[in-house]
Structure 1
Amino acid sequence: MTTDPHGEVLRAGRDASAAHPSLRSAGPDAVRAALTGMGRRLTDRSDAVLEANRADLDAAEGVLAPALIDRLRLDATRLARMAAQIEALSRIDDPDPLVGTRALPDGLVMEERRRPVGVIGANYEARPNVTIDVASQLVKSRNAGVLRTGGAALGSAVALHDEVIRPALAEAGIDPAAIQIVRTADREAARALVAHPRLIPLVILRGSGETTASLAREAAAHGVRTLAHADGGGVLYIDHAADMGRALALVERGLDRLGVCNRLNLLLIAAPLWVDAVPRVHEVLDRLGVRPSMPPHGHPLGLEWALEDGSEATVTLAPVEGAAEAARIANDETSGLAATVVTEDAAAAEEFLSAYAGTGAFWNATTRLLDGFELLGAPETGINVDHVPGPRGPVTFRDLVLRQYVVRPEAM
């Protein structure tokens, strides 16, 4: 692994930029072949990938919390799931590059077109599957890429790049240098990734809140745009008219993995149900090995437990007067990632859904569904929770484009 993080990022960016024309001009058949090749090699080269992942897991044992080790772990089932998602992505038709036209005076016509960004960077947490998710989205959108992951997953990411991504591109006739992996665990590489606006104008940021926020500020200082996924934490509100069997099942479904952003983080219960519901919720949490944080709380209601080292197996519980207060808390005291209302009362559900301004709003469904593949049928590069125009929610290949306006003579 290189010891010069800034030089490594510059080299990767330049190599990706030089290879981008090969990917940009690739037709649908070539891109489809590259993606299906990646899916096939996840199975064919699984031994090499899993060996690298075992080395990462061994190094992480006793260093990372159990929930983070779970995010780091690969196995045959997870590789098969990754392969199935890429195969599904390969079958999605490319968006028409021509969005629309408009006649202008003097015999001219305006065309609105979609164009690839060019080279897109990505800095993400120690989750090997994200290497494949991001790479596949970049290939599908005809963008070259420079990927950097946390040191805990670097061996797995390099194996996925060298054994899966790079050879699949080459076999499809696409320059394999179009997708680069930063081969250093030095955190300075993350700062270098957001410092070159002419070379890497857009960087996808995923990870813990403060780290990602710091990189976003660094990027802004250099004129690099970011799609940041820093904060998460799902909210579940059990309304006075909830089916408690359904509510408890959704509590359990929201805690099937503790290290992911869309897991259940804050459980709000209508005050009339509080005394009867809390013991039943505790039974579910006890069975799952999850600790309830009860009022009075010594922490913000929206504290994201997935980012609390050693306390990931925690859920905050709080009483609320009704749907309006639940939506207000979800808006004001959480990241705005996702919230669900559990109720059999359509009016209460609509009150909550209309008031909640977050990225994903659900009725009688788990916030774990806020996922690119679950909602949109395509792997995601991350989930954007910005409250400004632009890609919001699961960001997929459809979002990794620029608008271009072409004006030309109508008759030509």
Structure 2
Amino acid sequence: MTVVSESVSSVVAACAQAAHRAAPSLAAAPDSAIDGALSAMAGRLRDSSPALLEANEVDVSAAVADGMSAGLLDRLRLTPERLASMASALELLASTPHPPRSTFVRDLPDGLKLYERRRPVGVIGANYEARPNVTIDVASQLVKSRNAGVLRTGGAALGSATALVRSVIAPALSDVSLDPAAIQLVPTPDRAAASALVSQPAHVPLVILRGSGETTRTLGQEAARHGVRTLAHADGGGVLYIDADADVAVALDLVKRSVDRLGVCNRLNLLLIHSSVYESVLPQVSSLLDALNIAVSLPPHNHPIGYEWALDSTREATVTVLPVSSAAEAAEVANRETSGLAACIVTTTRATAEAFMDAYTGTGVFWNATTRLLDGFKLLAVPETGINIDKVPGPRGPVTYPDLCLRQYAVLPA
């Protein structure tokens, strides 16, 4: 259990209380105000680009001086192109229809009618890695779902996140007469603030957890002790299986497109190759990855098969390779050895693809398509708060604004 100082606890509690007070402003807001706030965020993001890039450069320079790895720096860095993409995503989200707040279910005896209603949670917390874009992604999803929020980011991105909240999010809420205090950013880089965030059940009953596996699992356990529910994105690592009947050119293209960014959870992490083509395909794969400056870990491995390289700052430019005897074994290995985030099969045979897709139990399964597609924006055309890989009922896969609600049954007279 993490020891949280009184000062850190007080800072987080103050954020939680402020968001709690502001939550009714969002809950009662009309659709036009919610979408107006998101549109205003897009406009302010564009207008504030120079200042945002300047604040981000301070974060990046400090991270470089601290020896941050290339993959983590890629996550931390903002560019004009990334800011433009973030603004476009906000505009798209603003134009996306709202789910109905009340849906008729059926008639009941005695002339009564049953409705299912959607209600906001109130305040949702989010603890996430040092990625400035996630500040906008999460905040926008919370606003769209009419939830207030308390955000806590990795210390390396705190300057960038602060600039985004002060220059984009808060003033955009004010632009449409919504309470700007609805989205709070924990102002301390102290890691203990994450533990404090999952210890506020009265004000923050649900917390989205993103980041490295062990840290996120520990926070989930702390949250459970305090009666706080979590949506956790703890582990990642995409799997790609090259079948005996694969089109090798397609397979090589997917391998290349699956390692375009090494610091993300849905990148290629484990490459499985059918044993009958292993000797012929492996040299081609190795040559391709070598040209991309990516190492190949071959058997016998001195690490777990599903080891997530994206979290290894010293060896993130690595892919694990393993021969398997069939699509069934490939699915079994993916189920047993990895987090269950996503897996792809490369094959020209439909029956083999369907057997693999039926056997794999993870969150996303792909046929002749890269696992990099397991992303809220790429799949669902809206930003995500994270990817939930829990094996229990509830939102699974990319979590977006329709998932951030409570179900309420209402019985009314006809």
Q: TM-score range by the shorter chain?
A: over 0.9
The correspondence of residues 149-228 of structure 1 with structure 2, limited to 5 A, is: 149-228=153-232
Structure 1: 4+ residue segments shifted above 4 A: none
Alignment partner of 1:186: what SS?
coil
The correspondence of residues 20-39 of structure 1 with structure 2, limited to 5 A, is: 20-39=23-42
Structure 2 equivalent of residue 335 of structure 1? 339
Tell me, yes or no, if structure 1 residue 146 matches structure 2 residue 154. no
Structure 2 equivalent of residue 54 of structure 1? 57
Residue deviations 1:94-119 (CA, integer Å, cap 9, x gap):
00011333222233222210000000
Amino acid at match of 2:356: F
TM-score by length of 1: 0.98
Tell me, yes or no, if structure 1 residue 6 matches structure 2 residue 12. no
Structure 2 equivalent of residue 387 of structure 1? 391
Q: Give 1:312's match in structure 2, choosing from 309, 316, 328.
A: 316
Shift of 1:308: 1.1
Structure 2 equivalent of residue 123 of structure 1? 127
The alignment covers a number of residue pairs equal to 409
Q: How far apart in 1 are the matches of 2:314 and 2:174?
A: 43
Q: Give 2:270's match in structure 1, choosing from 256, 266, 276.
A: 266
Alignment partner of 1:197: what SS?
coil
Q: Give 1:408's match in structure 2, choosing from 386, 403, 412.
A: 412
Alignment partner of 1:122: what SS?
strand
Q: How far apart in 2 are the matches of 1:37 and 1:310?
A: 40
Distance 1:133 1:3, change over 3 A: farther
Residue deviations 1:19-41 (CA, integer Å, cap 9, x gap):
11111111111111110111111
Say if 1:137 and 1:396, in contact at 8 Å, map to a contact too. Answer: yes
The correspondence of residues 244-259 of structure 1 with structure 2, limited to 5 A, is: 244-259=248-263
Alignment partner of 2:277: what SS?
helix
Alignment partner of 1:242: what SS?
coil
Q: How far apart in 2 are the matches of 1:40 and 1:330?
A: 43
Structure 1 equivalent of residue 21 of structure 2? 18
Amino acid at match of 1:340: C
Q: How far apart in 1 are the matches of 2:174 and 2:319?
A: 46
State the Cα RMSD in Å: 1.1
Moved more, 42-51 or 217-226: 42-51
Structure 2 equivalent of residue 44 of structure 1? 47
Q: How far apart in 2 are the matches of 1:93 and 1:115?
A: 16
Shift of 1:309: 1.8
Q: How far apart in 1 are the matches of 2:44 and 2:249?
A: 43
5+ residue gaps, structure 1, are none
Residue deviations 1:137-173 (CA, integer Å, cap 9, x gap):
0000000000000101000000010011011110011
Shift of 1:399: 0.1
The correspondence of residues 365-384 of structure 1 with structure 2, limited to 5 A, is: 365-384=369-388
Alignment partner of 1:405: what SS?
strand
Q: How far apart in 2 are the matches of 1:143 and 1:175?
A: 12
Q: How far apart in 2 are the matches of 1:380 and 1:36?
A: 17
Amino acid at match of 1:53: N
Tell me, yes or no, if structure 1 residue 364 matches structure 2 residue 368. yes
The correspondence of residues 221-300 of structure 1 with structure 2, limited to 5 A, is: 221-300=225-304
5+ residue gaps, structure 2, are none
Q: How far apart in 1 are the matches of 2:15 and 2:111?
A: 45
Structure 1 equivalent of residue 305 of structure 2? 301
Amino acid at match of 1:82: M
Q: How far apart in 2 are the matches of 1:66 and 1:198?
A: 40
Say if 1:3 and 1:184, in contact at 8 Å, map to a contact too. Answer: no
Shift of 1:3: 9.2
Q: How far apart in 2 are the matches of 1:152 and 1:267?
A: 32
Amino acid at match of 2:49: S
